[in-house]
Amino acid sequence: MSRQSEESTQSLTQAGAQSEYSSEERTFLLHLARESILSLLERREMSLLTPSEHLSEARGVFTTLYSKGILRGCVGYPAAMLPLHRAVAETSRAAASEDPRFYPLRLEETQHLKISLSVLSHLQPITPEQVEVGRHGLVISQGARRGLLLPQVPVEHGWDRLLFLEQTCLKAGLPPDAWRTAVRIEAFTAESFSNEDRGS
């Protein structure tokens, strides 16, 4: 293993071992996500919320929505394209109305809505042997094809490292064993929290 890959893995490990966002910041982001969805469904202007400087830093984020325990949408930005608070607002609205796998969220569903946010670290190159289930999310790409799975996905499905790699390849539209060939494999950690968490 090269020094560069060792340092990349260490930084990912450290990022996954500690919480970057305070309880107040998490509450703010979750409130922002809910307000973004409600203002969309109620066809009204969104209430103005003033973020901290920390929450104005550019970060990748995914918003996942559940209604009565059923997945209703998941949309995100894997790269740090926007200030975090803007990315949360945009992905929340998109998860509620633009995920092509589901029909748009209805207003009555928001009474039982679970909002889960996953704030992503920066992408780092990683070898297949370094991938840790439960810690790393994966991005596998080849040319224009790109697949991403969040760290919690293999845990929820009971996948081992091999299956995690294969499923990320399939997400990219590649053969399941493409990770063994000339593809780009990158990893990230994610700080995930939801409005159903206790003490968050």
Backbone angles phi, psi at 65, to 5 degrees: -115, 135
Q: Return d(Cα 87, Cα 81) in angstroms, integer.
A: 8
Q: Return d(Cα 184, Cα 146) in angstroms, integer.
A: 9
Full-model pTM: 0.80
Residue 166's identity, in one-letter code, is: E
Q: Return d(Cα 166, Cα 58) in angstroms, integer.
A: 30
- Helix (H) and strand (E) counts for the chain? 5, 8
Domains in the chain with CATH codes: 3-11+122-188 (3.30.1490.150), 16-120 (3.30.700.20)
If we measure between CA atoms, which residue out of 35, 199, 46, 192 comes closest to residue 110? 35
Q: For every one of its 200 residues, what pLDDT tens digit does the chain have, with 9 covering 90 and above? A: 333 333 333 445 444 446 899 999 999 999 999 999 999 999 999 877 788 999 999 999 999 999 998 999 999 998 899 999 999 999 999 999 999 999 999 999 999 999 999 999 988 999 999 999 999 999 999 999 999 999 999 999 999 999 999 999 999 999 999 999 989 999 999 999 999 884 43
